[in-house]
Structure 1
């Protein structure tokens, strides 16, 4: 059963198109991710799904209700965590929890079991002002507040932005536990490595959905052979690769550059000779496997070419 059904949604702000004829579905029980850079349209979409913004056209049904016509009935069933920290920074951890519970006519004590795995990590800071918490602890408090009324759908807009790598991993583990308990989760992130945490992902760029599938299938759909190329000077390496006649794409990936060619099979010896003649040293070229970032960049490049 689909818990979210979006058909031909568009949204513009003046001359800027935030969402361009989006259609997708999310099944009940999924952990569904929207992956894309800043400005891709993720926040505009999430504000429509949570009844905070109206689309210019199209329809969105969430939990069997229209986000415009049925917004009063829908809001109590949603848990929403916006991208920016939106709790009361001059209230303590406990005061924030009590306030958000009271808004929905419940209490921390009544629903403690639901938030316990997360809130238990905050209890020793209960009297601390929310504004004085670390980034990771702020996110845990925000998630606890979004959960306190037992929502049927949890919508999280870039919940791990600005927190350290360990906190990011802990946060996704918490989302997976909540999902295992039957809560449908929709989350957005600009971090490609977080795509693997989701059951399915939608790759989104400039208001367009480029592909929706499991992370594994998205990676599998990448067809071009990839070479991982390294040299002593990364700057010169990228410059020379972009000038190579057969180059299709050149993308930095850590200490390597991921390189694809216009030809079906790249010639490693020929490429190495070209880079050596260009004066580069410490050259290493080896085949590598694509990841979801390679797939996203290829789809995004195609979207820009045909957009």
Structure 2
């Protein structure tokens, strides 16, 4: 796959559960080195869309193509980093032991494995807590460790579902600085958020409401086209008013 090809291409995808449409006719693409934000209120379908991209769920209609392969395709797992809203960590293990476990799943060995774990702990500022059992971690610390786990294998595509919830502002800033660095190195990033200042940091945004994409563009384009000064105001214009 060339660098000019979309890393993610969602073409008319929909997802229906128990007869209810969760997503309808989703169309968007994500390029190499792009930070693409999915912005919308809780229940708008952001998490379901990320699960389709990750291959953890399957569209009922349309298609989802990731890194040149139609999803779901388990052969893509080694090329994707995924951080869910719920933390998939082992409370009885230490932070370092958790990362060591995930590193083994990715096939990392020896000195490279140790280096990647050390780098990930430094990024999320958990070096001092590396030998502490995760069951003693705060919610924010668990989110930071989950982010570290998703980065261990240096994925081509990083999927982050509200990664900074419960994280203090200083560390949140450092995480976004790292995401910008990763994107500059060619990593594609899809991040869900309902935090407006984070939305402004994305290269492009897909605004989602009631399972539909209501607008796609750069933050500046969306504000200009909506005649709004802020992303929040633009979202209300595109969405037709305050969310219920």
Question: Above 0.5 in TM-score?
Answer: yes
Displacement, 1:108?
Answer: 7.4
Residues of 1 paired with 2:92 and 2:201: CA distance? 34
Secondary structure of residue in 2 paired with 1:28 = coil
2:88 is aligned to 86
Higher relative contact order (CA 8 A, sep 6+): 2
1:131–1:179 CA distance, 2 compared to 1 (3 A): farther
Indicate yes or no: 2:239 matched with 1:300: yes
1:74 is aligned to 76
Q: Which has the larger radius of gyration?
A: 1
Counterpart of 1:97 (choices 94, 99, 102) is: 99
Secondary structure of residue in 1 paired with 2:55 = coil
Counterpart of 1:157 (choices 152, 157, 161) is: 161
2:7 is aligned to 3
The count of corresponding residues between Structure 1 and Structure 2 is: 237
1:303–1:108 CA distance, 2 compared to 1 (3 A): farther
Per-residue deviation, residues 125-146 of structure 1 (Å, max 9, x unmatched): 1111123223333222111111
1:290 is aligned to 229
1:267 is aligned to none
Q: TM-score, normalised by structure 2?
A: 0.90
Displacement, 1:118?
Answer: 4.1
Residues of 1 paired with 2:144 and 2:64: CA distance? 29
Q: Which moved further from structure 2: 111-120 or 125-134? A: 111-120
Indicate yes or no: 2:59 matched with 1:36: no
Per-residue deviation, residues 151-176 of structure 1 (Å, max 9, x unmatched): 11110011112333333323212211
Per-residue deviation, residues 21-71 of structure 1 (Å, max 9, x unmatched): 101111111011101110110111111111111111111110001113xx1
Residues of 1 paired with 2:117 and 2:178: CA distance? 10
8 Å contact kept, 1:210–1:303: no
Indicate yes or no: 2:126 matched with 1:126: no
Residues of 2 paired with 1:128 and 1:178: CA distance? 28
Displacement, 1:15?
Answer: 3.5
Indicate yes or no: 2:65 matched with 1:61: yes
Matches within 5 A, 1:225-244: none
Give the gaps of 5 or more residues in structure 2.
none
Q: TM-score, normalised by structure 1?
A: 0.72
Residues of 1 paired with 2:78 and 2:57: CA distance? 16
8 Å contact kept, 1:118–1:140: no
Displacement, 1:117?
Answer: 5.0
Give the gaps of 5 or more residues in structure 1.
224-288
Per-residue deviation, residues 161-217 of structure 1 (Å, max 9, x unmatched): 233333332321221122222211111011122111111111111111111111011
Indicate yes or no: 2:27 matched with 1:23: yes
